[in-house]
DNA sequence: ATCCAGGAGTCAG
DNA sequence: CTGACTCATGGA
């Protein structure tokens, strides 16, 4: 089985990276992580200095986990206060994954106002119904459904499939848009940040949160600062910014405060959210 | 049972 | 611009 060395000066934690809720098609079983990315079924485990893996190329794995990114310099740029400091310590080695763009976009449309176990369930169901089956080892897996596949699916008409609820017509509509727009991926990648964001916001089911997640997790725009209920709580109660009420205000302050890699700061804070919020509750005696 | 979840669309002020 | 309401579903 191939293995990939992890440079001693570059922290990487497979558990932190796959377990923090940025991807939805990975499970850990007996020390090994199993995941489906696009139409590859990947198996990975981390030993002290190596990643042992099968199911994809070294290049794919390096790109997916962004192992060439100099994490230490990213972290030194966002180390602004004890709260991020602690989050960086507790989530040591967390890296932002480079997801396939369509898969990321569709996944986060499904993710709106749902919790992580529920999101995983929806996406697995979606793949099983509309994805391409493929064999790996003894088992059958399902690729993430292409935009083309969803564009000719029944998502728009036959009621609410895949228990996507009200997200179903949004996903269908956006799939049709993307299917009809060849090169969407590369074109968006090359746009300036605000323009790329504006373009994403025109898609059905894509608001500021989903747009920022796609910019961050698929297009490597690390200045994107996705704001969810947890980040709102953290900014308001832990950073003492109860004046920040709207999404755009929180996102702007996040970008100004943490800088170019604000998205990385967001991800570390999100990863450490339970500890942060629990402590702030205790201090308040709630 | 009840509340909430990595929200977005729509419409009213 | 902000606020209120609705949307469908499953997890805790």
Each residue of A194-206: pLDDT tens digit? 999 999 999 999 9
d(CA A224, CA A185): 17
Q: Count of alpha carbons within 13 Å of A231, Cβ hemisphere only?
A: 24
Top pLDDT among A98 and A155 is at: A98
For the segment A268-278, the average pLDDT, to the nearest whole number, is 94
Residue whose CA lies closest to nucleotide C8 C1': A165
For the segment A95-122, the average pLDDT, to the nearest whole number, is 97
Q: Cα Rg for chain A, rounded, in angstroms?
A: 19
Residue whose CA lies closest to nucleotide C1 C1': A246
Lowest mean pLDDT among A46-50, A107-111, A225-229, A253-257: A46-50
pLDDT at A280: 82
d(CA A277, CA A257): 20
Label residue A157 by pLDDT band (50, 70, 90): confident
Q: Which window residues (52-91, chain A) lie with Cβ within 7 Å of strand B?
A: none
Average pLDDT score over chain A: 95
Could you tell me if A126 and A145 are in contact, meaning their C-beta atoms sit under 8 angstroms apart? yes
Residue whose CA lies closest to nucleotide C2 C1': A246
**Is it the case that residue A284 has pLDDT exceeding 80?**
no
Verify if strand B has an atom below 7 Å from the CB of A172: no
Label residue A161 by pLDDT band (50, 70, 90): confident
For the segment A114-123, the average pLDDT, to the nearest whole number, is 95
Q: At what angle do helices A273-284 and A262-271 cross, to 10 degrees?
A: 70
> pTM for the whole thing?
0.97
For the segment A156-172, the average pLDDT, to the nearest whole number, is 86
For the segment A73-79, the average pLDDT, to the nearest whole number, is 98
């Amino acid at each position: 089985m191939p293995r990939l060395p992890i440079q001693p000066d570059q922290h990487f934690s497979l558990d932190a990276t796959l377990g923090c809720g940025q991807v939805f098609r990975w499970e850990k079983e007996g020390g090994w992580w199993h995941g489906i990315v696009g139409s590859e079924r990947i198996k990975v485990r981390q030993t002290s200095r190596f990643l042992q893996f099968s199911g994809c190329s070294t290049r794919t794995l390096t790109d997916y986990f962004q192992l060439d990114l100099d994490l230490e310099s990213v972290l030194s740029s966002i180390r602004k206060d004890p709260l991020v400091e602690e989050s960086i310590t507790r989530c040591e080695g967390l890296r932002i994954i480079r997801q396939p763009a369509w898969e990321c976009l569709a996944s986060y449309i499904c993710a709106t106002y749902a919790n992580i176990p529920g999101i995983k369930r929806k996406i697995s169901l979606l793949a099983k119904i509309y994805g391409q089956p493929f064999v790996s080892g003894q088992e059958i897996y399902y690729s993430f459904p292409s935009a083309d596949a969803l564009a000719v699916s029944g998502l728009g008409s036959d009621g609410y499939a895949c228990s996507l609820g009200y997200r179903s017509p949004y996903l269908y509509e956006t799939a049709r848009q993307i299917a009809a727009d060849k090169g969407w991926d590369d074109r968006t990648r090359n746009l300036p940040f605000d323009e790329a964001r504006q373009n994403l916001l025109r898609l059905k089911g894509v608001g500021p949160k989903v747009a920022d997640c796609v910019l961050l997790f698929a297009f490597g725009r690390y200045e994107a600062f996705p704001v969810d209920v947890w980040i709102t709580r953290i900014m308001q109660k832990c950073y003492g910014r109860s004046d920040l009420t709207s999404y755009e205000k929180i996102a702007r302050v996040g970008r100004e405060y943490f800088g170019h890699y604000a998205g990385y700061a967001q991800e570390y804070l999100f990863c450490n959210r339970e500890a942060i919020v629990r402590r702030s509750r205790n201090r308040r005696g709630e």
